[in-house]
Structure 1
């Protein structure tokens, strides 16, 4: 990889230079997220859930105060900050863990990092007003995600001539824009945006060709946990998608993902770690 974003493991070693995939635990503090909406609206409930994920193996806690599911209703800046800032502050007081703020708003990025967040996860890849300049000033790792269209309409009829090539080109353009705005390329992470303006076939094509999405040698984040593509393929309700989510996380890591964003931390961590043990033995034997 080109660089290693300044994210640390619990023993303070660089997170993405450990030879293993990093686990990002999802903490949605929204009433309308597709999987866990409304479950962790109180500060104590949210921090306690984060504590469980950390205990189960999460390297990063990703906190989101605005749902980006298909058809989601936008949230204003004040409401988003009201939801996330107290939880970030609560986590910082109790844990030494990487904290990611899942937002596209410059003001929320600024407030979250000043409250203790150590990473920005932006589904709009820093294209919103002032996001690039604020991210450059904050100088923390940033994940740039691809999305075709907007959350309200992105799944209506996604069309690509070549889904993998299109996403690689878009992410490469965003990396260039970030560098020109003053961001350190070593702080950038790429997310192809599974489920964000992609059909079932496009999502699975992208997963099979994940390594080809890597631009500038940067780390890749993959988020497939409990997503509708599983429901479409297997006819499963959201709460019944755990096993399939783990399988997709394993495939993502096998195909080049450096970070996986998941709801079910314990099961996913154990599955990935045993795969890594087996792969290590195979390399040593060859």
Structure 2
């Protein structure tokens, strides 16, 4: 396998997402995670209260996040189901308050069409769907609104248990799924420049699967759409390093930087400040940006 740095592979790398513009040929967007759930795998309910969620979102933007991702229902199968109405009650007030305070991109992490519609009405710009647009009506909501969509690979989707997921070739199968769901999105009327893809690290995948996806990530980024990776503090990092949930920061940064070199252009993260520093340094070393405060100019 080649060790060369991989370009974004995006046909039109300059994208307008919400109120911000990104040049994914020379820029990496940082998406902060804010979960209004009592059972998120990393936060463990720390941002479940409305005021805590709003404060976390504002702090993330202050620390340099370009994007805030709001979720009201965890992916894990180890949780009680909630109604769409309860999910809307969790996410819509946070989105409305963030929208009033910042021009940062806001996404709604949901697989339900009615929740997506309510979130867009509250001010969200992007639908982040870990179910790959398989819920009835989701693609239609995205197409009608003009919102961007993140099309993510998973086998079962949120809240559904998948025992011992198996793949003959995980990268080829994930890439095939993403190509098929992108074709579905296009057929539903979602514009090509509104589509982002995510291979879904650790979503119905074991540690070996997620490591292989990362190692061969260029096979995903070469599909031709901006690629988001959600690696932050995940179990494949913890199992690789034998680290508990709260001690995976270094592994997360390493995996994120490696993914940038493989063509990823959006990072979904918990630790915004550390990610901003590592990403800005990576961009500078790649020649995409200059130093922020050089003592000597080249002139």
Aligned with 2:137 (options 127, 130, 137): 130
1:259 paired with 2:269, answer: no
Give RMSD over aligned pairs: 1.7
Q: Alpha carbons of 1:221 and 1:26: their partners in 2 closer, same or farther (altered >3 Å)?
A: same
Change (3 A) 1:18 1:256: closer
Deviations 1:8-46 (A, max 9, x none): 57xx4x124471110000001100110113111222221
Report the number of matched residues: 278
For the pair 1:2 / 2:11, whether they are aligned, the reply is yes
Partner of 2:69: 62
1:256-276 deviation line (CA, Å, top 9, x unaligned): 101000000100110111111
Q: Please give the residue correspondences for 1:70-89 in structure 2 after superposition, counting only pairs within 5 Å.
A: 70-89=77-96
- 2:283 aligned residue: 276
Q: TM-score, normalised by structure 1?
A: 0.92
CA offset at residue 215 of structure 1?
5.6
**Quick one: structure 1 residues 281 and 104, their matched pair in 2 at CA, closer, same or farther if it must change by over 3 Å?**
closer
TM-score by length of 2: 0.88
Contact 1:21 1:258 in 2 (8 A): yes
Any idea what the Cα deviations from partners look like across 1:129-159, whole Å, max 9, x if unmatched?
21111111111110000002344423x3121
Q: Partner of 2:294 in structure 1? A: none
Cα deviation, residue 118, structure 1: 0.6
1:96 Cα offset (Å): 1.5
Q: 1:88 is paired with a residue of what secondary structure?
A: helix
Counterpart contact for 1:172–1:216, Cα < 8 Å: yes
Moved more, 67-76 or 199-208: 67-76
1:221 aligned partner: 228
Match of 2:124 among 112, 117, 124: 117
- Structure 2's unaligned 5+ residue stretches are 1-9, 290-299
CA contact (8 A) 1:29 1:40 kept: yes
Is 2:247 aligned against 1:240? yes
d(CA) in 2 for partners of 1:214, 1:17: 12
Counterpart-to-counterpart distance in 1, 2:155 and 2:239: 19
For residues 170 and 241 of structure 1, what CA distance do their matches in structure 2 show? 29
Return 5+ residue gaps in structure 1 as ranges. Answer: none
Distance in 2 separating the partners of 1:228 and 1:207 = 14
What per-residue deviation string (whole Å, max 9, x for no partner) do you get for residues 233-275 of structure 1?
Answer: 1221111111111111111111110100000010011011111
Following TM superposition, where does structure 1 have runs of at least 4 consecutive aligned residues deviating by more than 6 angstroms? none
1:153 aligns with 2:168: no
Cα distance, 1:281–1:116 mapped onto 2, change above 3 Å: closer
Query: Following TM superposition, by how much is the alpha carbon of 1:170 offset from its aligned partner in structure 2, in angstroms?
Result: 0.5
Output one character per residue of 1:55-104: Cα deviation in whole Å (capped at 9) or x when no partner: 11100000000011353433210110010000011111111211000001
Residue 96, structure 1, aligned to residue 103, structure 2: yes
